[in-house]
């Protein structure tokens, strides 16, 4: 896996940076858009509503990312959603540096091809600032998760945060990194 990590980082430095400089007219190579961090989120709504144990979700996210997740809690009570203050509402992980590149490599080359009926990811999921979000309905598409040992299948949200100034730069960066976008 370490060689794939080096390949992805070298590919970014050797091929992607010059191409983005040429396409967007950026003179300084440090001003070229890059991936800043990757955030993974899982909502605990069904677990909290049914008063079920969510430790399996935490373990799954830890094995997927190689990092201990943070359990987010409700800041204030919302009666319409039957949420009380300090009740767990989600699990989140933020990846940076080498772990981020390892995860992106795994996401692009292993996880996306394992998604059922996969025809590419939507190029419309950018937020206006070059950041991209994608949701997966099943956690078992990741190679670290053994489907035989999973009691509940849950989804997760993946957000790729970039330093791009707009959606065009963010799209081109992720496309050159190998994200399988649908053809428009």
pLDDT tens-place string over residues 112-142: 888 888 888 888 889 888 899 999 888 888 8
Quote the pLDDT of residue 2: 54
Instruction: Lay out the sheet containing 70-73: strands in order across.
Output: 70-73, 88-95, 35-43, 156-162, 132-136
Closest residue by Cα to residue 88 from 69, 72, 70, 68: 72
Residues in the chain: 184
Contact 179, 119 (CB under 8 A): no
Residue 85's pLDDT is 77
For the chain, the average pLDDT equals 85
Stretches in the chain below the pLDDT threshold 70: 1-6, 47-50, 79-81, 184
Other beta carbons less than 10 A from residue 34's beta carbon? 16
Side-chain-side CA neighbours of residue 184 (13 Å): 5
DSSP character string of 91-147: EEEEE-HHHHHHHHHHIIIIIHHHSTT---B-TT-B-SSS-EEEEES-GGGSTTS-G
The pLDDT of residue 50 is 67
pLDDT number for residue 68: 92
Please list, in sequence order, all residues whose beta carbon lies within 8 angstroms of the beta carbon of residue 160, skipping any fewer than 6 positions away. 35, 38, 104, 131, 132, 133, 134, 174
Q: What is the CATH number of domain 2-177?
A: 3.30.1440.10
DSSP classification of residue 83 = B
Q: What pLDDT score does 182 carry? A: 85
Token pair belonging to 57: 């979700």
Q: How many CB atoms lie within 10 A of CB 80?
A: 5
pLDDT value of residue 173? 92
pLDDT confidence of residue 128: 87
């Amino acid at each position: 896996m370490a060689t794939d990590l080096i390949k992805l980082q070298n590919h970014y430095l050797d091929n992607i940076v010059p191409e983005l400089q040429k396409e967007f007219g950026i003179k300084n190579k440090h001003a070229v858009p890059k991936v800043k961090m990757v955030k993974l989120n899982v909502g605990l709504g069904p677990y909290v509503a049914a008063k079920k144990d969510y430790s399996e979700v935490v373990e799954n996210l830890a094995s997927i990312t190689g990092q201990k997740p943070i359990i987010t809690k409700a800041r204030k009570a919302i009666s319409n959603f039957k949420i009380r203050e300090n009740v767990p509402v989600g699990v989140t992980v933020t990846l940076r540096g080498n772990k981020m590149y390892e995860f992106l490599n795994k996401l692009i080359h292993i996880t996306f091809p394992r998604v059922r009926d996969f025809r590419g990811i939507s190029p419309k999921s950018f937020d206006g600032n070059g950041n991209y979000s994608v949701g997966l309905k099943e956690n078992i598409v990741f190679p670290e998760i053994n489907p035989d040992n999973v009691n509940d299948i849950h989804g997760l949200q993946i957000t790729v945060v970039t330093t791009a100034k707009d959606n065009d730069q963010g799209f081109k960066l992720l496309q050159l990194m190998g994200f399988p976008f649908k053809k428009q």
